[in-house]
Amino acid sequence: MPGAQLKMSLDTGPSTMSPDSTDGARRLLKRELDAVAARLHAEAEVPKAASPTGDFLDIAQGVQNQELARLNAQRLSERARRLRIALSRVSDGEYGICAECGDSIPPKRLVAVPDATTCLACQERFERTRLADCR
């Protein structure tokens, strides 16, 4: 698991990361970003739709494959964006600090979600609010 290396090197102190843990976080995030970029590149070509002369099911399946490819590319692009933000937070000395409340993000959370910008409490509050807004 790529996060295991980060788990061992994260400082559990209040809100600062040691140079070693910062380097470990940067390496992990860069490795994740490289993997996402490679997948985006490998899956860049959207499948062609079936020719209009095919039957209805062939056309429908072709459209479905195109939509799935677009959704996957969108998901990967969003993941890459979050990883770039996390790398920027490392450079700014803000990685591991909750963007909402300023508390430390627990190392276990950063191992599970390396691009996390919020602590678990703030993330749960955000998700509850978003869920309530959808109702």
Which tens digit of pLDDT belongs to each residue from 15-66? 446 556 888 899 999 999 999 999 998 887 766 665 667 788 888 888 898 8
pLDDT in tens, 72-130: 999 999 999 999 999 999 999 999 999 999 999 999 999 899 999 999 999 999 999 98
Q: CA–CA separation, 36 vs 18, rounded Å?
A: 27
Q: CA–CA separation, 71 vs 44, rounded Å?
A: 12
DSSP conformation letters of 39-70: HHHHT-SPPPPPPTTS-HHHHHHHHHHHHHHH
pTM over 0.85: no
pLDDT in tens, 85-96: 999 999 999 999
Residues 6+ apart with CB under 8 A from 10: 17, 21, 24, 25, 96, 107, 110, 111
Q: So where are the chain's domains?
A: 3-134
Q: Which CATH number does the domain 3-134 belong to among 3.40.50.12140, 3.40.50.300, 3.90.550.10, 1.20.120.910?
A: 1.20.120.910
Q: CA–CA separation, 8 vs 107, rounded Å?
A: 9
